[in-house]
Structure 1
Amino acid sequence: MTSSVQTHRVPYYSQWESADLVPEFVTGARSSADDPLWQKSGADSREEYAFWAPRICGMACLRMALDFWGHPVPPSVPLLRDALDAGVYVRTGETTVKGLIYAPFADWVTRRWSLHAEARPQLTAEDIIAESARGHLLMVSVHYTIRTLDPTPPQRGGHLVLAVDSGPEGVVLNNPSGLPGHSQEYHHVPWAEFDRFFAGRGVVLGRSRANPGLATESRT
Structure 2
Amino acid sequence: MTYSTSSAVLQQVPYYSQWASPELVPAIVGGTMRAADDPRWAEYGASTPEEYEWWAVQLCGVACLRMALGAWNLDVPDPMRLAADCVEVGAYVHREDGGLDGLIYAPFAAYVRSRWNLVADVYPDLPADQITKHVAAGNLVMLSVHRTIRVLDPAPPRKGGHLVLAVGADEQHVVIHDPSGFPGRSEYASVRWSDLDRFYAGRGIVLGRPRAPQA
Aligned equivalents of 2:96, 2:32: Cα separation in 1: 26
Aligned counterpart, 2:202: 200
Residue 3 of structure 1 and its aligned partner are, at CA, apart by 3.2
User: Which residue does 1:214 correspond to in 2?
Assistant: none
Q: Which residue of 1 aligns with 2:105?
A: 102
Q: Give the deviation of 1:94 after TM superposition.
A: 4.8
Matched, 1:57 2:60: yes
Instruction: Please report how far the alpha carbon of residue 209 of structure 1 lies from its aligned counterpart in structure 2 after TM superposition.
Output: 4.2
Equivalent residue for 2:142?
A: 139
RMSD: 1.4
Output one character per residue of 1:14-59: Cα deviation in whole Å (capped at 9) or x when no partner.
Answer: 0001011010111111111111000001111111111000110000
Q: Please list every run of 5 or more consecutive structure 1 residues that lacks an aligned counterpart in the other structure.
A: 211-220
Structure 2: stretches of 5+ with no match in the other structure: none
Aligned to 1:69: 72
Shift of 1:166: 1.2
Shift of 1:125: 1.4
Task: Tell me how many residue pairs correspond in the alignment.
Answer: 207
Runs of 4+ off more than 4 Å: none
**Contact 1:110–1:209 (CA under 8 A) maintained in structure 2:** no
Structure 1 residue 135 displacement after superposition: 0.6
2:58 maps to 1:39: no
Letter in 2 for 1:106: A
Residue 160 of structure 1 aligns with which residue? 163
Partner Cα separation in structure 1 for residue 155 and residue 31 of structure 2: 21
TM-score by length of 2: 0.93
Conserved? CA contact 2:10–2:169, under 8 Å: no
Counterpart amino acid of residue 150 in structure 2: R
The one of 163, 170, 173 equivalent to 1:170 is 173
Aligned-partner SS, 1:195: helix
The DSSP-based 3-state class of the residue aligned with 2:160 is coil
Which amino acid letter does the alignment assign opposite residue 3 of structure 1? Y
Question: CA–CA distance in 2 between the matches of 1:168 and 1:123?
Answer: 17
> Normalization by structure 1: what TM-score?
0.91
- Determine if the alignment matches structure 1 residue 122 to structure 2 residue 125: yes
Q: Distance in 2 between matches of 1:21 and 1:96?
A: 24
Matched, 1:151 2:158: no
Over the matched positions of the two proteins, sequence identity in percent amounts to 53
3-state SS in 2 of match to 1:48: helix
Deviations 1:99-132 (A, max 9, x none): 0000001000000010000010000111101101
1:3·1:165 contact (CA, 8 Å) conserved in 2? Answer: no
- Distance in 1 (CA, whole Å) between partners of 2:169 and 2:106 is 24
Once the 2 structures are TM-superposed, how far is the Cα of residue 189 of structure 1 from its aligned partner? 0.3
